[in-house]
Chains A and B, each alone.
Chain A
Protein backbone atom coordinates (compact mmCIF):
# COMPACT_ATOMS: atom_id res chain seq x y z
CA UNK A 1 0.00 0.00 0.00
CA UNK A 2 1.37 3.41 -0.92
CA UNK A 3 1.64 6.14 1.65
CA UNK A 4 -1.02 8.14 -0.04
CA UNK A 5 -3.46 5.25 -0.12
CA UNK A 6 -2.87 4.61 3.57
CA UNK A 7 -3.41 8.26 4.27
CA UNK A 8 -6.61 8.32 2.31
CA UNK A 9 -7.89 5.27 4.10
CA UNK A 10 -7.12 6.81 7.48
CA UNK A 11 -8.89 9.97 6.43
CA UNK A 12 -11.98 8.03 5.38
CA UNK A 13 -12.01 6.17 8.66
CA UNK A 14 -11.75 9.46 10.55
CA UNK A 15 -14.51 10.96 8.51
CA UNK A 16 -16.79 8.03 9.22
CA UNK A 17 -16.04 8.16 12.92
CA UNK A 18 -16.61 11.89 13.13
CA UNK A 19 -19.86 11.57 11.30
CA UNK A 20 -21.11 8.96 13.74
CA UNK A 21 -19.95 10.46 17.00
CA UNK A 22 -20.36 14.21 16.49
CA UNK A 23 -23.58 15.84 17.62
CA UNK A 24 -24.28 18.59 15.12
CA UNK A 25 -24.81 22.15 16.31
CA UNK A 26 -27.72 22.53 13.99
CA UNK A 27 -29.30 20.07 11.60
CA UNK A 28 -29.83 21.64 8.18
CA UNK A 29 -33.54 21.96 7.53
CA UNK A 30 -34.48 21.86 11.21
CA UNK A 31 -36.72 24.83 11.93
CA UNK A 32 -35.56 27.39 14.49
CA UNK A 33 -37.56 28.16 17.65
CA UNK A 34 -39.73 30.97 16.19
CA UNK A 35 -40.23 29.37 12.77
CA UNK A 36 -43.50 27.89 13.89
CA UNK A 37 -45.03 31.29 14.63
CA UNK A 38 -43.36 33.05 11.71
CA UNK A 39 -46.50 33.00 9.60
CA UNK A 40 -48.74 34.43 12.31
CA UNK A 41 -46.20 37.05 13.40
CA UNK A 42 -45.40 38.37 9.93
CA UNK A 43 -49.08 38.30 8.92
CA UNK A 44 -50.19 40.27 11.99
CA UNK A 45 -47.40 42.81 11.69
CA UNK A 46 -48.22 43.35 8.02
CA UNK A 47 -51.95 43.88 8.66
CA UNK A 48 -51.41 46.18 11.65
CA UNK A 49 -48.85 48.27 9.71
CA UNK A 50 -51.32 48.62 6.87
CA UNK A 51 -54.09 49.80 9.23
CA UNK A 52 -51.77 52.33 10.88
CA UNK A 53 -50.59 53.59 7.50
CA UNK A 54 -54.20 53.94 6.34
CA UNK A 55 -55.23 55.74 9.53
CA UNK A 56 -52.32 58.18 9.26
CA UNK A 57 -53.05 58.94 5.61
CA UNK A 58 -56.72 59.44 6.46
CA UNK A 59 -56.09 61.61 9.53
CA UNK A 60 -53.70 64.05 7.86
CA UNK A 61 -56.61 64.48 5.41
CA UNK A 62 -54.73 64.34 2.17
CA UNK A 63 -58.15 63.51 0.85
CA UNK A 64 -61.41 64.69 2.46
CA UNK A 65 -63.12 62.20 4.77
CA UNK A 66 -65.92 62.01 2.23
CA UNK A 67 -63.45 60.39 -0.11
CA UNK A 68 -61.26 58.28 2.17
CA UNK A 69 -62.35 57.70 5.77
CA UNK A 70 -59.82 56.06 8.09
CA UNK A 71 -60.34 52.91 10.16
CA UNK A 72 -61.41 54.96 13.19
CA UNK A 73 -64.04 56.82 11.10
CA UNK A 74 -65.38 53.49 9.89
CA UNK A 75 -65.55 52.21 13.47
CA UNK A 76 -67.50 55.29 14.51
CA UNK A 77 -69.91 54.86 11.59
CA UNK A 78 -70.35 51.23 12.63
CA UNK A 79 -71.30 52.26 16.21
CA UNK A 80 -73.78 54.85 14.94
CA UNK A 81 -75.37 52.29 12.62
CA UNK A 82 -75.68 49.81 15.46
CA UNK A 83 -77.56 52.38 17.55
CA UNK A 84 -80.07 53.12 14.80
CA UNK A 85 -80.92 49.41 14.92
CA UNK A 86 -81.30 48.92 11.17
CA UNK A 87 -77.91 47.28 10.80
CA UNK A 88 -79.00 44.18 12.70
CA UNK A 89 -81.99 43.79 10.42
CA UNK A 90 -79.82 44.26 7.31
CA UNK A 91 -77.37 41.59 8.49
CA UNK A 92 -80.22 39.23 9.32
CA UNK A 93 -81.84 39.67 5.89
CA UNK A 94 -78.60 39.30 3.94
CA UNK A 95 -77.51 36.38 6.09
CA UNK A 96 -80.78 34.56 5.44
CA UNK A 97 -80.52 35.14 1.70
CA UNK A 98 -76.92 33.95 1.67
CA UNK A 99 -77.36 30.84 3.81
CA UNK A 100 -80.64 29.67 2.27
CA UNK A 101 -79.43 30.22 -1.30
CA UNK A 102 -76.02 28.74 -0.68
CA UNK A 103 -77.35 25.82 1.34
CA UNK A 104 -79.83 25.00 -1.41
CA UNK A 105 -77.05 25.19 -3.98
CA UNK A 106 -75.03 22.58 -2.06
CA UNK A 107 -78.00 20.32 -1.33
CA UNK A 108 -79.14 20.34 -4.95
CA UNK A 109 -75.81 20.85 -6.74
CA UNK A 110 -73.96 17.97 -5.14
CA UNK A 111 -76.31 15.13 -6.15
CA UNK A 112 -76.92 16.88 -9.46
CA UNK A 113 -73.19 16.88 -10.26
CA UNK A 114 -72.69 13.31 -9.05
CA UNK A 115 -75.55 12.01 -11.19
CA UNK A 116 -74.45 13.98 -14.25
CA UNK A 117 -70.93 12.62 -14.01
CA UNK A 118 -71.96 9.05 -13.21
CA UNK A 119 -74.74 8.58 -15.74
CA UNK A 120 -73.08 9.50 -19.02
CA UNK A 121 -76.33 9.99 -20.92
CA UNK A 122 -77.78 12.25 -18.25
CA UNK A 123 -74.58 14.26 -18.61
CA UNK A 124 -75.05 14.47 -22.39
CA UNK A 125 -78.59 15.73 -21.84
CA UNK A 126 -77.74 18.37 -19.22
CA UNK A 127 -74.29 19.53 -20.36
CA UNK A 128 -75.66 22.18 -22.77
CA UNK A 129 -77.71 23.79 -20.00
CA UNK A 130 -74.87 23.79 -17.51
CA UNK A 131 -72.52 25.29 -20.09
CA UNK A 132 -75.06 27.94 -21.05
CA UNK A 133 -75.67 29.09 -17.49
CA UNK A 134 -72.05 28.84 -16.45
CA UNK A 135 -70.98 31.05 -19.36
CA UNK A 136 -73.71 33.65 -18.69
CA UNK A 137 -73.06 36.21 -15.93
CA UNK A 138 -75.74 35.10 -13.48
CA UNK A 139 -76.42 38.64 -12.31
CA UNK A 140 -77.78 39.25 -15.81
CA UNK A 141 -80.68 37.01 -14.81
CA UNK A 142 -81.57 39.21 -11.86
CA UNK A 143 -84.21 41.46 -13.50
CA UNK A 144 -86.01 38.25 -14.44
CA UNK A 145 -85.89 37.02 -10.84
CA UNK A 146 -87.25 40.36 -9.63
CA UNK A 147 -90.25 39.87 -11.90
CA UNK A 148 -90.70 36.25 -10.84
CA UNK A 149 -89.93 36.40 -7.13
CA UNK A 150 -90.43 40.06 -6.16
CA UNK A 151 -88.36 42.52 -4.12
CA UNK A 152 -88.23 40.31 -0.98
CA UNK A 153 -86.09 37.34 0.00
CA UNK A 154 -87.10 35.13 -2.94
CA UNK A 155 -85.28 36.97 -5.72
CA UNK A 156 -82.03 37.15 -3.72
CA UNK A 157 -82.19 33.51 -2.67
CA UNK A 158 -82.65 32.63 -6.34
CA UNK A 159 -79.69 34.67 -7.51
CA UNK A 160 -77.45 33.34 -4.72
CA UNK A 161 -78.51 29.81 -5.54
CA UNK A 162 -77.75 30.28 -9.21
CA UNK A 163 -74.38 31.86 -8.44
CA UNK A 164 -73.19 29.05 -6.18
CA UNK A 165 -74.87 26.14 -7.96
CA UNK A 166 -72.74 25.96 -11.09
CA UNK A 167 -69.25 26.06 -9.54
CA UNK A 168 -70.39 23.27 -7.20
CA UNK A 169 -71.87 21.19 -10.04
CA UNK A 170 -68.89 21.65 -12.32
CA UNK A 171 -66.35 20.80 -9.62
CA UNK A 172 -68.31 17.75 -8.51
CA UNK A 173 -68.34 16.51 -12.10
CA UNK A 174 -64.60 17.09 -12.37
CA UNK A 175 -64.09 15.20 -9.10
CA UNK A 176 -65.97 12.15 -10.32
CA UNK A 177 -64.21 12.20 -13.71
CA UNK A 178 -60.86 12.34 -11.89
CA UNK A 179 -61.46 9.20 -9.88
CA UNK A 180 -58.86 6.49 -10.28
CA UNK A 181 -60.49 3.99 -12.68
CA UNK A 182 -58.44 1.22 -11.04
CA UNK A 183 -60.45 1.74 -7.84
CA UNK A 184 -63.75 1.42 -9.70
CA UNK A 185 -62.53 -1.76 -11.42
CA UNK A 186 -61.39 -3.14 -8.07
CA UNK A 187 -64.77 -2.48 -6.47
CA UNK A 188 -66.63 -3.94 -9.45
CA UNK A 189 -64.59 -7.12 -9.24
CA UNK A 190 -65.80 -7.49 -5.66
CA UNK A 191 -69.42 -7.28 -6.91
CA UNK A 192 -69.95 -3.71 -5.70
CA UNK A 193 -73.35 -2.29 -6.65
CA UNK A 194 -73.88 1.22 -7.97
CA UNK A 195 -74.91 2.48 -4.55
CA UNK A 196 -71.77 0.97 -2.95
CA UNK A 197 -69.60 2.66 -5.55
CA UNK A 198 -71.29 5.97 -4.85
CA UNK A 199 -70.98 5.79 -1.10
CA UNK A 200 -67.57 4.19 -0.76
CA UNK A 201 -65.60 5.43 -3.76
CA UNK A 202 -67.24 8.19 -5.78
CA UNK A 203 -68.24 10.41 -2.87
CA UNK A 204 -65.11 10.16 -0.69
CA UNK A 205 -62.89 10.21 -3.79
CA UNK A 206 -64.31 13.46 -5.09
CA UNK A 207 -64.51 15.27 -1.74
CA UNK A 208 -61.48 17.49 -2.42
CA UNK A 209 -63.00 18.69 -5.70
CA UNK A 210 -66.46 19.09 -4.16
CA UNK A 211 -65.10 21.21 -1.32
CA UNK A 212 -63.13 23.46 -3.63
CA UNK A 213 -66.34 23.82 -5.63
CA UNK A 214 -68.09 24.86 -2.42
CA UNK A 215 -65.41 27.44 -1.78
CA UNK A 216 -65.70 28.86 -5.30
CA UNK A 217 -69.48 28.81 -4.94
CA UNK A 218 -69.25 30.76 -1.70
CA UNK A 219 -67.43 33.58 -3.48
CA UNK A 220 -70.13 33.70 -6.14
CA UNK A 221 -72.85 33.59 -3.48
CA UNK A 222 -71.41 36.63 -1.68
CA UNK A 223 -71.18 38.60 -4.92
CA UNK A 224 -74.76 37.66 -5.78
CA UNK A 225 -76.16 38.76 -2.42
CA UNK A 226 -74.52 42.18 -2.58
CA UNK A 227 -75.24 42.90 -6.23
CA UNK A 228 -78.78 41.54 -5.96
CA UNK A 229 -79.59 43.79 -3.03
CA UNK A 230 -78.05 46.80 -4.75
CA UNK A 231 -80.31 46.32 -7.74
CA UNK A 232 -83.56 45.58 -5.98
CA UNK A 233 -84.31 44.90 -2.32
CA UNK A 234 -86.23 46.10 0.72
CA UNK A 235 -83.43 45.52 3.20
CA UNK A 236 -79.94 44.06 3.43
CA UNK A 237 -76.28 45.01 3.56
CA UNK A 238 -76.11 45.57 -0.19
CA UNK A 239 -79.05 47.97 -0.08
CA UNK A 240 -77.56 49.79 2.90
CA UNK A 241 -74.27 50.21 0.99
CA UNK A 242 -76.02 51.40 -2.15
CA UNK A 243 -78.04 53.97 -0.17
CA UNK A 244 -74.99 55.15 1.77
CA UNK A 245 -72.98 55.44 -1.44
CA UNK A 246 -75.61 57.55 -3.16
CA UNK A 247 -75.44 60.18 -0.39
CA UNK A 248 -71.65 60.01 0.03
CA UNK A 249 -71.68 58.37 3.46
CA UNK A 250 -68.42 56.71 2.54
CA UNK A 251 -67.67 55.34 6.00
CA UNK A 252 -70.96 53.40 5.91
CA UNK A 253 -69.99 51.87 2.59
CA UNK A 254 -66.81 50.66 4.25
CA UNK A 255 -68.86 49.21 7.13
CA UNK A 256 -70.76 47.16 4.56
CA UNK A 257 -67.54 46.03 2.92
CA UNK A 258 -66.06 44.85 6.23
CA UNK A 259 -69.23 42.91 7.11
CA UNK A 260 -69.33 41.14 3.75
CA UNK A 261 -65.60 40.43 3.89
CA UNK A 262 -65.93 39.17 7.47
CA UNK A 263 -68.73 36.79 6.46
CA UNK A 264 -66.59 35.52 3.58
CA UNK A 265 -63.57 34.92 5.80
CA UNK A 266 -65.58 33.11 8.49
CA UNK A 267 -67.41 30.84 6.03
CA UNK A 268 -64.17 30.05 4.21
CA UNK A 269 -62.55 29.12 7.53
CA UNK A 270 -65.44 26.77 8.30
CA UNK A 271 -65.03 25.15 4.88
CA UNK A 272 -61.30 24.74 5.48
CA UNK A 273 -62.02 23.02 8.80
CA UNK A 274 -64.39 20.62 7.05
CA UNK A 275 -61.78 20.04 4.36
CA UNK A 276 -59.15 19.19 6.96
CA UNK A 277 -61.53 16.78 8.67
CA UNK A 278 -62.20 14.90 5.45
CA UNK A 279 -58.56 14.68 4.50
CA UNK A 280 -56.94 13.38 7.65
CA UNK A 281 -55.85 10.34 5.61
CA UNK A 282 -53.70 12.49 3.33
CA UNK A 283 -49.96 12.35 3.95
CA UNK A 284 -48.96 15.29 6.15
CA UNK A 285 -46.54 17.57 4.29
Chain B
Protein backbone atom coordinates (compact mmCIF):
# COMPACT_ATOMS: atom_id res chain seq x y z
CA UNK B 1 0.00 0.00 0.00
CA UNK B 2 1.49 3.29 -0.98
CA UNK B 3 -0.42 5.13 1.75
CA UNK B 4 1.10 2.87 4.39
CA UNK B 5 4.61 3.42 3.09
CA UNK B 6 4.15 7.17 2.92
CA UNK B 7 3.15 7.35 6.58
CA UNK B 8 6.11 5.10 7.45
CA UNK B 9 8.36 7.54 5.60
CA UNK B 10 6.87 10.45 7.49
CA UNK B 11 7.49 8.77 10.78
CA UNK B 12 11.15 8.14 10.00
CA UNK B 13 11.91 11.63 8.79
CA UNK B 14 9.83 13.35 11.37
CA UNK B 15 11.63 15.85 13.51
CA UNK B 16 8.57 16.60 15.61
CA UNK B 17 6.82 14.00 17.71
CA UNK B 18 3.88 11.95 16.58
CA UNK B 19 0.76 13.08 18.34
CA UNK B 20 -2.03 10.88 16.97
CA UNK B 21 -1.36 7.46 15.50
CA UNK B 22 -4.02 5.34 13.81
CA UNK B 23 -3.22 1.83 12.62
CA UNK B 24 -5.78 -0.17 10.69
CA UNK B 25 -8.66 1.61 12.41
CA UNK B 26 -11.91 -0.08 11.49
CA UNK B 27 -15.30 0.98 12.79
CA UNK B 28 -18.56 -0.91 12.50
CA UNK B 29 -22.03 0.40 13.25
CA UNK B 30 -24.96 -1.67 14.36
CA UNK B 31 -27.94 -0.72 12.25
CA UNK B 32 -31.10 -1.58 14.14
CA UNK B 33 -33.37 -1.43 11.10
CA UNK B 34 -31.26 -3.75 8.98
CA UNK B 35 -30.36 -5.85 12.03
CA UNK B 36 -26.82 -6.01 10.72
CA UNK B 37 -23.37 -4.55 11.27
CA UNK B 38 -22.33 -1.89 8.85
CA UNK B 39 -18.77 -0.96 7.96
CA UNK B 40 -18.26 2.80 8.25
CA UNK B 41 -14.48 3.15 8.39
CA UNK B 42 -12.08 0.60 6.97
CA UNK B 43 -8.41 0.28 7.83
CA UNK B 44 -7.27 3.85 8.42
CA UNK B 45 -3.52 4.44 8.90
CA UNK B 46 -2.64 7.99 9.88
CA UNK B 47 0.11 9.73 11.79
CA UNK B 48 -0.45 13.30 12.87
CA UNK B 49 2.57 15.23 14.10
CA UNK B 50 2.55 17.56 17.01
CA UNK B 51 1.45 21.04 15.92
CA UNK B 52 0.25 19.82 12.54
CA UNK B 53 -3.05 20.89 11.00
CA UNK B 54 -4.60 17.96 9.16
CA UNK B 55 -7.86 18.04 7.22
CA UNK B 56 -9.87 14.96 6.33
CA UNK B 57 -11.81 15.60 3.15
CA UNK B 58 -14.56 13.36 1.88
CA UNK B 59 -18.08 13.18 0.48
CA UNK B 60 -20.92 13.19 3.00
CA UNK B 61 -21.54 9.84 4.62
CA UNK B 62 -17.97 8.65 4.04
CA UNK B 63 -17.28 7.90 7.67
CA UNK B 64 -15.11 10.92 8.38
CA UNK B 65 -17.28 12.08 11.27
CA UNK B 66 -17.30 8.52 12.62
CA UNK B 67 -13.53 8.55 12.53
CA UNK B 68 -13.19 11.85 14.40
CA UNK B 69 -15.71 10.60 16.97
CA UNK B 70 -13.44 7.62 17.52
CA UNK B 71 -10.51 9.98 18.06
CA UNK B 72 -12.61 11.97 20.54
CA UNK B 73 -13.39 8.74 22.35
CA UNK B 74 -17.16 8.84 21.97
CA UNK B 75 -17.17 6.09 19.33
CA UNK B 76 -15.63 2.67 19.95
CA UNK B 77 -13.48 1.18 17.21
CA UNK B 78 -13.97 -2.41 16.14
CA UNK B 79 -10.44 -3.08 14.91
CA UNK B 80 -6.93 -1.67 14.76
CA UNK B 81 -5.36 0.74 17.21
CA UNK B 82 -5.70 4.42 17.93
CA UNK B 83 -3.19 6.12 20.20
CA UNK B 84 -2.57 9.67 21.35
CA UNK B 85 0.89 10.43 22.68
CA UNK B 86 1.44 6.67 22.83
CA UNK B 87 -1.62 6.05 25.01
CA UNK B 88 -4.47 4.03 23.60
CA UNK B 89 -7.72 6.03 23.26
CA UNK B 90 -10.34 4.30 25.39
CA UNK B 91 -12.79 7.11 25.93
CA UNK B 92 -13.11 10.88 26.12
CA UNK B 93 -10.19 12.59 27.81
CA UNK B 94 -8.90 16.02 28.71
CA UNK B 95 -6.16 15.77 26.04
CA UNK B 96 -8.74 16.23 23.28
CA UNK B 97 -11.47 18.77 22.68
CA UNK B 98 -14.10 18.80 19.98
CA UNK B 99 -15.63 21.67 18.05
CA UNK B 100 -18.98 20.42 16.82
CA UNK B 101 -20.86 20.91 13.59
CA UNK B 102 -23.86 22.17 15.55
CA UNK B 103 -22.70 24.73 18.08
CA UNK B 104 -24.23 22.59 20.86
CA UNK B 105 -24.25 25.45 23.36
CA UNK B 106 -26.28 25.23 26.55
CA UNK B 107 -29.07 27.77 25.93
CA UNK B 108 -29.40 28.57 29.64
CA UNK B 109 -25.74 29.48 30.06
CA UNK B 110 -24.14 32.77 29.13
CA UNK B 111 -21.28 32.90 26.63
CA UNK B 112 -18.69 32.90 29.41
CA UNK B 113 -20.30 29.96 31.21
CA UNK B 114 -20.55 28.05 27.95
CA UNK B 115 -16.87 28.63 27.25
CA UNK B 116 -16.09 27.36 30.74
CA UNK B 117 -18.28 24.27 30.39
CA UNK B 118 -15.68 21.89 28.95
CA UNK B 119 -12.97 22.84 31.42
CA UNK B 120 -15.50 22.55 34.22
CA UNK B 121 -16.51 19.03 33.17
CA UNK B 122 -12.86 18.01 32.97
CA UNK B 123 -12.13 19.65 36.33
CA UNK B 124 -9.01 20.96 34.73
CA UNK B 125 -8.41 24.45 35.98
CA UNK B 126 -9.00 26.36 39.15
CA UNK B 127 -11.99 28.64 39.19
CA UNK B 128 -10.01 31.83 38.87
CA UNK B 129 -7.51 30.54 36.36
CA UNK B 130 -10.25 29.16 34.10
CA UNK B 131 -12.23 32.38 34.32
CA UNK B 132 -9.16 34.33 33.23
CA UNK B 133 -8.49 31.92 30.37
CA UNK B 134 -12.14 32.05 29.31
CA UNK B 135 -12.07 35.83 29.15
CA UNK B 136 -8.84 35.72 27.15
CA UNK B 137 -10.31 33.19 24.69
CA UNK B 138 -13.57 35.08 24.32
CA UNK B 139 -11.52 38.10 23.24
CA UNK B 140 -9.31 35.92 21.04
CA UNK B 141 -12.30 34.56 19.08
CA UNK B 142 -13.62 38.12 18.75
CA UNK B 143 -16.53 37.99 21.18
CA UNK B 144 -15.28 40.58 23.66
CA UNK B 145 -18.30 42.36 25.15
CA UNK B 146 -20.59 39.36 24.66
CA UNK B 147 -19.51 37.48 27.80
CA UNK B 148 -22.94 37.78 29.39
CA UNK B 149 -25.02 37.21 26.25
CA UNK B 150 -27.06 34.04 25.84
CA UNK B 151 -26.67 31.76 22.78
CA UNK B 152 -30.12 32.69 21.47
CA UNK B 153 -28.89 36.27 21.13
CA UNK B 154 -25.95 35.26 18.90
CA UNK B 155 -25.75 34.64 15.16
CA UNK B 156 -24.66 31.27 13.80
CA UNK B 157 -21.09 32.46 13.24
CA UNK B 158 -20.86 33.88 16.74
CA UNK B 159 -22.16 30.62 18.21
CA UNK B 160 -19.42 28.75 16.40
CA UNK B 161 -16.86 31.12 17.92
CA UNK B 162 -18.14 30.14 21.35
CA UNK B 163 -17.98 26.49 20.30
CA UNK B 164 -14.31 26.98 19.36
CA UNK B 165 -13.45 28.93 22.50
CA UNK B 166 -15.06 26.21 24.64
CA UNK B 167 -12.77 23.61 23.11
CA UNK B 168 -9.67 25.80 23.45
CA UNK B 169 -10.50 26.59 27.08
CA UNK B 170 -9.72 22.99 28.01
CA UNK B 171 -6.15 23.49 26.77
CA UNK B 172 -6.21 20.32 24.69
CA UNK B 173 -3.22 18.52 23.16
CA UNK B 174 -5.38 18.02 20.11
CA UNK B 175 -8.22 20.05 18.69
CA UNK B 176 -10.90 18.09 16.82
CA UNK B 177 -13.13 20.05 14.46
CA UNK B 178 -16.11 18.30 12.89
CA UNK B 179 -17.28 20.47 9.96
CA UNK B 180 -17.69 23.45 12.30
CA UNK B 181 -18.45 25.92 9.50
CA UNK B 182 -20.62 23.73 7.28
CA UNK B 183 -23.87 25.35 8.39
CA UNK B 184 -22.69 28.94 7.88
CA UNK B 185 -23.24 31.10 4.83
CA UNK B 186 -20.34 31.41 2.38
CA UNK B 187 -19.11 34.84 3.54
CA UNK B 188 -19.26 33.98 7.22
CA UNK B 189 -17.53 30.67 6.52
CA UNK B 190 -14.53 32.37 4.89
CA UNK B 191 -14.35 34.86 7.71
CA UNK B 192 -14.43 32.05 10.27
CA UNK B 193 -11.67 30.19 8.41
CA UNK B 194 -9.46 33.29 8.63
CA UNK B 195 -10.30 33.62 12.30
CA UNK B 196 -9.61 29.96 13.01
CA UNK B 197 -6.15 30.23 11.47
CA UNK B 198 -5.45 33.41 13.41
CA UNK B 199 -6.40 31.69 16.67
CA UNK B 200 -4.52 28.52 15.69
CA UNK B 201 -1.34 30.46 14.90
CA UNK B 202 -1.50 31.73 18.45
CA UNK B 203 -2.29 28.43 20.16
CA UNK B 204 -0.46 26.02 17.80
CA UNK B 205 -2.52 23.08 18.97
CA UNK B 206 -2.49 19.97 16.83
CA UNK B 207 -5.68 20.08 14.80
CA UNK B 208 -7.76 17.51 12.97
CA UNK B 209 -10.39 19.15 10.80
CA UNK B 210 -13.23 17.30 9.05
CA UNK B 211 -14.80 18.87 5.98
CA UNK B 212 -16.43 18.18 2.63
CA UNK B 213 -15.34 21.56 1.30
CA UNK B 214 -12.18 21.34 -0.81
CA UNK B 215 -11.27 25.02 -0.58
CA UNK B 216 -11.68 24.93 3.17
CA UNK B 217 -9.37 21.92 3.49
CA UNK B 218 -6.67 23.47 1.30
CA UNK B 219 -6.86 26.85 2.96
CA UNK B 220 -6.59 25.53 6.51
CA UNK B 221 -4.47 22.41 6.48
CA UNK B 222 -0.82 21.41 6.27
CA UNK B 223 -1.95 18.10 4.89
CA UNK B 224 -5.23 16.94 3.36
CA UNK B 225 -6.32 13.32 3.62
CA UNK B 226 -9.00 12.30 1.13
CA UNK B 227 -11.48 9.67 2.30
CA UNK B 228 -13.22 7.43 -0.21
CA UNK B 229 -16.99 7.04 -0.27
CA UNK B 230 -18.43 4.50 2.17
CA UNK B 231 -16.73 2.69 3.74
CA UNK B 232 -14.17 5.37 4.58
CA UNK B 233 -10.70 4.49 3.37
CA UNK B 234 -7.75 6.76 2.75
CA UNK B 235 -7.70 7.45 -0.94
CA UNK B 236 -5.01 10.04 -1.14
CA UNK B 237 -2.84 12.35 0.91
CA UNK B 238 -1.75 15.77 -0.28
CA UNK B 239 0.77 18.06 1.43
CA UNK B 240 -0.32 21.69 1.26
CA UNK B 241 2.85 23.74 0.90
CA UNK B 242 1.17 27.14 0.97
CA UNK B 243 3.07 29.55 3.19
CA UNK B 244 1.67 30.72 6.52
CA UNK B 245 0.22 32.96 7.74
CA UNK B 246 -2.46 32.48 5.13
CA UNK B 247 -5.03 35.04 4.13
CA UNK B 248 -6.89 36.58 1.23
CA UNK B 249 -3.86 36.28 -1.08
CA UNK B 250 -3.56 32.58 -0.35
CA UNK B 251 -7.04 31.93 -1.74
CA UNK B 252 -6.17 33.83 -4.93
CA UNK B 253 -2.77 32.21 -5.50
CA UNK B 254 -2.11 29.81 -8.38
CA UNK B 255 -0.71 27.16 -6.08
CA UNK B 256 -3.99 27.19 -4.13
CA UNK B 257 -5.91 26.51 -7.34
CA UNK B 258 -3.51 23.75 -8.38
CA UNK B 259 -3.96 21.86 -5.14
CA UNK B 260 -7.68 22.48 -5.26
CA UNK B 261 -7.90 21.01 -8.79
CA UNK B 262 -5.88 18.01 -7.76
CA UNK B 263 -8.21 17.28 -4.87
CA UNK B 264 -11.26 18.09 -6.94
CA UNK B 265 -10.62 15.30 -9.42
CA UNK B 266 -9.89 12.90 -6.63
CA UNK B 267 -13.04 13.65 -4.72
CA UNK B 268 -15.25 13.86 -7.80
CA UNK B 269 -14.72 10.14 -8.42
CA UNK B 270 -15.86 9.42 -4.90
CA UNK B 271 -18.93 11.59 -5.13
CA UNK B 272 -19.88 9.83 -8.37
CA UNK B 273 -19.26 6.44 -6.80
CA UNK B 274 -21.41 7.32 -3.86
CA UNK B 275 -24.19 8.65 -6.11
CA UNK B 276 -24.10 5.50 -8.26
CA UNK B 277 -24.42 3.34 -5.19
CA UNK B 278 -27.38 5.38 -3.98
CA UNK B 279 -29.07 4.98 -7.36
CA UNK B 280 -28.40 1.25 -7.44
CA UNK B 281 -29.91 0.91 -3.99
CA UNK B 282 -32.91 2.98 -5.05
CA UNK B 283 -33.47 0.69 -8.04
CA UNK B 284 -33.15 -2.47 -6.00
Contact = CB atoms under 8 A, between A and B. Distances in A.
Interface stretch (B47-55, B76-84, B90-98): B90-98
B104 A182 contact: yes
B121 A192 contact: yes
B228 interface: no
Contact of B98 (A189, A196, A204, A281): A189
Given A281-B107, A281-B108, A187 B121 contact: yes
A188 B118 CA distance: 10
Given A183-B106, A192-B121, A283 B92 contact: no
Interface in A266-285: 281-283
A200 B74 contact: no
B149 to A, nearest CB: 10
Nearest to B151: A281
B29 interface: no
A183 B108 contact: no
Interface string A167-204: 00000000000001011011111111000100011001
A213 B193 CA distance: 45
A283 B152 CA distance: 6
A196 B121 contact: yes
B156 interface: no
Nearest to B73: A189
B152 A185 contact: no
A211 to B, nearest CB: 13
B7 interface: no
A209 to B, nearest CB: 14
Contact of B100 (A186, A196, A200): A186
B8 interface: no
B67 interface: no
Interface residues of A, number: 19
Contact of A204 (B74, B91, B108, B117): B108
Given A182-B100, A282-B152, A283-B152, A190 B106 contact: no
B53 to A, nearest CB: 20
Contact of A189 (B74, B102, B107, B152): B74
Interface string B206-218: 0000000000000
A151 B227 CA distance: 74
Q: Helix, strand, loop or mixed for chain A's interface?
A: helix
Contacts of A189: 72-74, 92, 96-98
B95 to A, nearest CB: 10
B122 interface: yes
Contacts of B73: 189
B92 A188 contact: yes
Contact of A190 (B107, B109, B117, B150): B117
Contacts of A182: 100, 102, 104
Given A196-B121, A200-B117, A191 B94 contact: yes
Nearest to B92: A191
A283 B74 contact: no
A191 B94 CA distance: 7
Contacts of B170: 190
B122 A190 contact: yes
A200 B109 CA distance: 10
B269 interface: no
A191 B152 contact: no
Nearest to A186: B104
Contacts of A185: 74, 100, 104
Contacts of A192: 121
A191 B118 CA distance: 8
Contacts of A200: 106, 117, 121
B153 interface: yes
Contact of A188 (B74, B107, B117, B153): B74
Most chain A beta-carbon contacts within 10 A, residue among B117, B122, B153: B117
Given A185-B104, A186-B98, A189-B97, 13 more contacts: A182-B100, A182-B102, A186-B100, A189-B92, A189-B98, A190-B97, A190-B117, A190-B118, A190-B122, A191-B121, A204-B108, A281-B150, A282-B107
Interface of A: 180, 182-183, 185-192, 196, 200-201, 204-205, 281-283
6 contacts: A189-B72, A189-B73, A189-B74, A191-B93, A200-B117, A281-B109
Interface of B: 72-74, 91-94, 96-98, 100, 102, 104, 106-109, 117-118, 121-122, 150, 152-153, 170
Considering the complex of A and B, which 5 residue pairs feature the smallest CB-CB distances, nearest first? A186-B104, A190-B121, A190-B118, A192-B121, A283-B152
